[in-house]
Structure 1
């Protein structure tokens, strides 16, 4: 019983330090209501375990008395976040305070089989981190499909079918040699934007990822909704066309290219559609290109409406390759959404850009490590408390690695 109480106090003290960081022993005692002597004992143990360190002195009273600030030992472990896409793979490595130490982007060899792709991914992660790989405590992987957390299986990944093979995750984890977490890429992208990007000011948000696929991540009170089989947010599967075509066929890169080919529209890339059509009012009303854009707009507003009425987010963050072509049109989509539903969320672009998913992977991996250190589960949605992982810091590390 005594040991249980000590563990509870240790966990409460560490959790409060993580929420306040950096903080003094007195601040932690006042915030938790735990006695100063108990806080001191817990801190002494955390220091002895190499989890917490004393970082600096601060003046805490008018008479000049000083107290020592405490913080997590950031370099104790590293974590890695990976966003595996059909065309590109992005990797971020960070310390326990989410300070990025690695940021790379690579073309995905989508022609490889399941086991070969898993081995390639593990090798790229190890190569990116280099000599510090032994310090990696967890890897979190974002995948372009629905991830069943109970059965540890992947479905609905038409643009990278290899990840649906059970061998993919099994081989990847074995090759990495560290705990491997897996989740839908939109969920991780939202997690990244919640902690470090466009959704950091609200715990009620959604992420709409438009690229080779259509993915949606939803957060309620800071927690990502996943469902029993990982199907929450798979709005791209909704049939909307006259012949039962799914929403993703109107809004994703492969879908747009296929529809353009069927309509006889020469389209070099999905981005060209948005350049050629020029948005609402652009081009001849009856031209195939204009019709393609109109179909896209209707489908997009349908997706946005479905997100809004299913979860009532305050913000919907748009990311992915196609979303880059829509930045100038967000105001127009906002108006159409407000015409459809009276109380509409704010539409905004992803601040972390292409690295949202990898950044979210860092957060996910950190949460796993924090739990092993003793941080309370209920506090995780607000952690890590840091401003170290930013678009600027990611880009700086990325540029350093390609020079």
Structure 2
């Protein structure tokens, strides 16, 4: 088993699906990113995911022992269900999960994509030296995850880190609708402002009407950063996603605001693994399952694998 076992980590997103196949040492065998077909039924989406993995793996498919799949929603580990996935509603349908399991034909695991992304960053990315850390993904959706002493916090219903549901805006507007790409465009339209893309909100020296929208964004973002900070006092918050990439020059300003409010501020950094962090973290989780089958103690998993994927 030790010489032949591979695992696959998959990150199914509303825009793109990414997967990585690794061996037992955590060395990447294959990786791929491909646009997600969104206008398909739940079973068809599941079958497409598996078909892409099998096609890319080709003759190496028979080496794959576990598949771990990250999804853009809250994953209830008790009943293996998914909720709160508005950007890819198919994954909430039980038929998606049933078809995924049947099509893979090997043991599978599902979890929230942000949980896997943080796991990937803690093993191979910028959070390697930080057992207590947090992740914030900002793009088409908002995802959050927390780790304490190297363990990802999940909760019974998979809602730990789902800060996008906080009703922080006017008339209870959810936080997710204020800091994500679609939310930025929607709020701009409501204000009578035309934005070709969310990136226009983050240009240097914007006109007054855009600056006002940016102030609202910053206030909402500080709310979620504060929520992450007080949830587990992370040493570091890793940010990823298209919106996060536009914010890197403002990280020190957000840190100063947190420090002024809390008398403490975690370090804010961009993801080291980029868009592949979720797939890599899913593969790490698959490796942990393989290691346990080989007799590795559970309390040793937080430091494994030790080689870069």
Tell me whether 1:273 sits opposite 2:196 in the alignment. no
Once residues 216 and 133 of structure 1 are traced to their aligned partners in structure 2, the CA distance between those partners, rounded to angstroms, is 32
User: Is the partner of 1:76 in helix, strand or coil?
Assistant: coil
Deviation, structure 1 residue 258: 0.8
Q: After superposition, give the CA deviation of every residue in 1:134-176 in whole Å (9 maximum; x if it has no partner).
A: 0101011110000001100000101000000011111011101
Pairing 1:132-143 to 2, within 5 Å after superposition: 132-143=60-71
Name 2:45's counterpart in structure 1.
117
The farther-off stretch of 325-334 and 213-222 is: 325-334
Given the alignment of the two structures, is residue 306 of structure 1 paired with residue 227 of structure 2, yes or no?
yes
Matches within 5 A, 1:23-102: 73=2, 75-102=3-30
Counterpart in the other structure of 1:152:
80
Match of 2:244 among 312, 317, 323: 323
Q: What are the equivalent positions in structure 2 for 1:3-402 lying under 5 Å apart? A: 73=2, 75-275=3-203, 278=204, 282-284=205-207, 287-386=208-307, 388-389=308-309
- The TM-score normalised by the length of structure 1 is 0.75
Give the SS at the match of 2:246.
helix
1: distance between equivalents of 2:272 and 2:17?
18
CA distance in 1, matches of 2:211, 2:290: 50
Cα distance in 1 for partners of 2:79, 2:192 equals 44
Q: Shift of the alpha carbon at 1:272?
A: 2.2
In 2, Cα distance between the equivalents of 1:188 and 1:266? 35
- Specify the SS of the correspondent of 1:79: strand
Offset of 1:302 from its aligned partner?
Answer: 0.7
CA contact (8 A) 2:138 2:180 kept: yes
Describe the SS at the equivalent of 1:151: coil
Structure 1 stretches of 4+ with a deviation exceeding 3 A read: none
Number of equivalences: 309
Deviation sequence 1:251-295 (CA, Å, 0-9, x none): 0111111111111221122122212xx2xxx334xx331111111
Is residue 139–residue 180 contact of structure 2 (8 Å, CA) maintained in 1? yes
Query: Which of the two has higher C-alpha Rg?
Result: 1
CA apart distance, 1:110: 1.1
Contact 2:10–2:17, Cα closer than 8 Å, also in 1: yes
- Alpha-carbon distance, 1:242 to partner: 2.2
Corresponding residue number in structure 2 for 1:19: none
Give per-residue Cα distances to partners, 1:277-331, cap 9 Å, x unaligned.
Answer: x2xxx334xx331111111100111100010011100000001111111111111
Please report how far the alpha carbon of residue 343 of structure 1 lies from its aligned counterpart in structure 2 after TM superposition: 1.3
- Paired with 2:101 and 2:196, the residues of 1 have a C-alpha distance of 38
Tell me if the contact between 2:256 and 2:265 (Cα under 8 Å) persists in the aligned partners: no
Supply the distance in 2 between the matched residues of 1:271 and 1:362 (Cα, whole angstroms): 31
Q: Secondary structure at the match of 1:187?
A: helix
**Partner of 2:292: helix, strand, or coil?**
helix
3-state SS of the aligned residue for 1:160?
A: helix
Unaligned runs of 5+ in 1: 1-50, 52-72, 390-403
Partner of 1:54: none
Bigger RCO (CA 8 Å, 6+ sep): 2
Give the Cα separation in 2 of the matches to 1:271 and 1:188.
26
- Structure 1 distance, partners of 2:198, 2:49, is 27
RMSD, matched Cα: 1.0
